[in-house]
Structure 1
Amino acid sequence: MTKAQDPTLQMFKELTDANGIPGNEKEPRDVMRRYIEPLADEVYTDRLGSLVAKKTGTADGPKIMLAGHLDEIGFMITHIDDKGFLKFQTVGGWWEQVMLAQRVTVMTKNGNIPGVIGSKPPHILTPDARKKSMDKKDMFIDIGASSKEEAKEFGVRPGDSVVPVCDFTVMKNEKLLMAKAWDNRIGCAIAIEVLRQLQGVDHPNTVYGVGTVQEEVGLRGAKTSTHLIQPDIGFAVDVGIAGDTPGVTDKEALAKIGEGPQIIIYDASMVSHKGLRDFVTDTADDVNIPYQLDYVAGGGTDSGAIHLTANGVPALSITIATRYIHTHAAILHRDDFENAVKLIVEVIKRLDSETVKKITFD
């Protein structure tokens, strides 16, 4: 099978090439819906825009929620100056040093237009200025407009979404995949593939594959979709930090790409549920699926919102170690995706009512 014929790679490409910052997730939601709808009994959205695909197994079994978020980090246009340059607000977490001189797509009412985040050439910077990163407030986007009027003629207006540019790319080592928006279209892909692998398989529960919105600005879609579903068990599937590149120490990040999904024991949004964490790692050990235990001192995933819904939901984050997250181009390992799917499918097959009760109340 060639790369062009690989349906999983095609799904990855369509999900990551889709443009969708928080509050404007229509493109990736449409892609996810197209892939997941044939695998589900029912597909609907909550009123904030999160996509929910329901697959019923044994009647009256526990409700299992599997959530990846649809949104990616990006920018929003806030102002057009007299010369046609665009000022913007970051939407999601950005570090200034990865922003300058990077290509972007501005999503206007008249269609997408190309742009670049402008920067001064080093020739005209003072020695001190060269050592510092530029403040986000001083940056602008150049779309080739000569005036405010021309930018408006292009269709640009405040509130327009802006996304990074990086086409989905299979690297020379074909297990390594580069794209924008792995954070978190890989979680959406996992939800799709889990439902695919549950086709024709008995599972003693109802599974909800969810594409949440607005995770990058406060886990917002996870709050509304979890309230809608009222699950008994919740999993967030997301990217994690890879610690296998130069300059990253074991104190900062432990995981390595290609060595299995990360089971997050702690992050700033939640302490993982011990009973569920032990059940997942015991299952992985039982069927010989590799995994990595990890923690994140800052940041969080949709589990942070899921576990606080209603009377509480035992929840766990299962993530894919990914290089260069929250930049234009991130890299992950296909084996980690496949092992995450295998693990979650095995876990779901074992989550019957008695097991969930034991996990929850023991």
Structure 2
Amino acid sequence: MDRTALLKELTGAFGISGYESAIVGLLKKHFGDRVEITKDRLGSLIACKKGTSDKPKIMFAAHMDEVGFMVKEITKHGFIRFLPIGGWYAGNLPGLRVRVKTQKGDYIPGVIGIKPIHDMTEEEFKKIPQIKDMYIDVGTTDRFNVKEKLGIRPGDPVVPDAPFEQLANSDLCMAKAWDDRIGCALLVELLNNIAETDHPNTVYLVGTVQEEVGLRGAKTSASAIAPDIAFALDVSICRDTPGNENESVEKLGAGIGILVYDRTMIPHAKVKEFVCKIADLHNIPYHFTSIKGGYDTGTIHLTNYGVPSLALGVPTRYVHTGSSIVSLEDYEHVLNLITLIVKDLDAEAFEKITE
């Protein structure tokens, strides 16, 4: 499968936090029998690729879940009240097309609605809408049709309905769920790069669950692995759009976003130095970035006696919306960097990091 097809398949898969089974299946398919596969009890997928040495144990984590919604209740007129799963800006939601997945496995199309602007008071019109005032319209007129005919129940997951598309600049791709199916794709392609090579370490490729609701799968999978060093593979924030005219280097085409701060972790300084030296040596572009949120490394680095960790991001526009945009060139840079990390991170290099 070529890269574009892989990215289309992964972003198109349905999987909010707690409902990642479709992505587990895809990763298993692409990993094949080249790795030893296990799962922790919360559902994270752990693929072990042994090298020429047991140490250091390197964990690459990419979360499988996407932001979305969950059915909360069904009104007597057949509208669906919902809960946000992950961080959403409410102003982006009215008019968003969605799909509800029933327990039978059916996908029901719908759209997020709100009180028509023509009926709003001037005060209501000026305010940011609230999710509690929104609903999903699946085209029915009563609760019976929603529950009995369509099979929708409280607790059912909901995701945006948005296709994968290459834009006018074919290097740029738009889809839902780049956060973090792009990291999942990196796991697959990293294995492709190292599967037939000797590497001086043991590599764990981990698809984590429930990152968007509290970095939960990262905690349980790291406990199972006890890694020596860890990297989160995720999106980073683009600040190159109108409203961010501050000469930011955090933009599409600027290479890898290396996280220097988030609310869950200050990255290990020597890991950052090690990675930057590799990037500089091989002319791989990167920039430093920070976010208000957190990455899987936020819980991984607190495992046992501590795990030196760093998060690496593919710059992404419009994170946590129905459709986001990434650059395939930036993706390639991240893939090249992590492949070199596996090649160079031997026991001696690890000792220098932790001395």
Fold shared, TM-score > 0.5 on shorter chain: yes
CA shift at 1:287, angstroms?
A: 1.0
Tell whether the 8 Å contact from 1:37 to 1:43 is kept in structure 2 after alignment: no
Which residues of structure 2 form unaligned runs of 5+?
none
Measured in 2, the distance between the counterparts of 1:331 and 1:176 equals 7
Paired residue type of 1:275:
K
Measured in 2, the distance between the counterparts of 1:105 and 1:29 equals 20
For the pair 1:167 / 2:163, whether they are aligned, the reply is yes
Q: State the match for 1:359 in structure 2.
A: 353
TM norm structure 1: 0.95
Q: State the match for 1:283 in structure 2.
A: 278
Decide which of 285, 300, 309 is 1:306's aligned counterpart: 300
Decide which of 302, 316, 329 is 2:323's aligned counterpart: 329
Measured in 1, the distance between the counterparts of 2:277 and 2:108 equals 50
Give the root-mean-square deviation of aligned CA atoms. 1.2
Task: Give SS of 1:157's match.
Answer: coil
Measured in 1, the distance between the counterparts of 2:136 and 2:337 equals 43
Q: State the match for 1:68 in structure 2.
A: 62
CA shift at 1:124, angstroms?
A: 1.9
Q: Deviations over 1:86-122 (max 9, x none)?
A: 1111110011110111111001023110011112332
Q: Deviations over 1:248-284 (max 9, x none)?
A: 2449x64011111111111111001001000000010
Decide which of 231, 239, 257 is 1:235's aligned counterpart: 231
For the pair 1:198 / 2:217, whether they are aligned, the reply is no
Q: Deviations over 1:141-193 (max 9, x none)?
A: 11112211111111111100010111111111110000000000001111111
Decide which of 15, 30, 34 is 2:29's aligned counterpart: 34
For the pair 1:83 / 2:77, whether they are aligned, the reply is yes
* Aligned length in residues: 353
Q: State the match for 2:342 in structure 1.
A: 348
Paired residue type of 2:214:
G
Write out aligned runs for 1:1-362 (5 A). 7-38=2-33, 40-110=34-104, 111-153=106-148, 154-250=150-246, 254-296=249-291, 298-361=292-355
Paired residue type of 2:217:
G
Paired residue type of 2:236:
G
Measured in 1, the distance between the counterparts of 2:211 and 2:183 equals 12
Tell whether the 8 Å contact from 1:37 to 1:53 is kept in structure 2 after alignment: no
CA shift at 1:37, angstroms?
A: 2.5
Tell me the percent identity.
48
Tell whether the 8 Å contact from 2:167 to 2:173 is kept in structure 1 after alignment: yes
Tell whether the 8 Å contact from 2:114 to 2:133 is kept in structure 1 after alignment: no
Tell whether the 8 Å contact from 1:96 to 1:135 is kept in structure 2 after alignment: yes
Q: Deviations over 1:204-255 (max 9, x none)?
A: 001111110000000000000011111111000110110111102449x640
Q: 1:248 to 1:283 in 2, by over 3 A?
A: same
Q: State the match for 1:3 in structure 2.
A: none
Measured in 1, the distance between the counterparts of 2:162 and 2:41 equals 30
Which residues of structure 1 form unaligned runs of 5+?
1-5
Q: Deviations over 1:44-81 (max 9, x none)?
A: 21111111111111132311000110000011111111
TM norm structure 2: 0.97
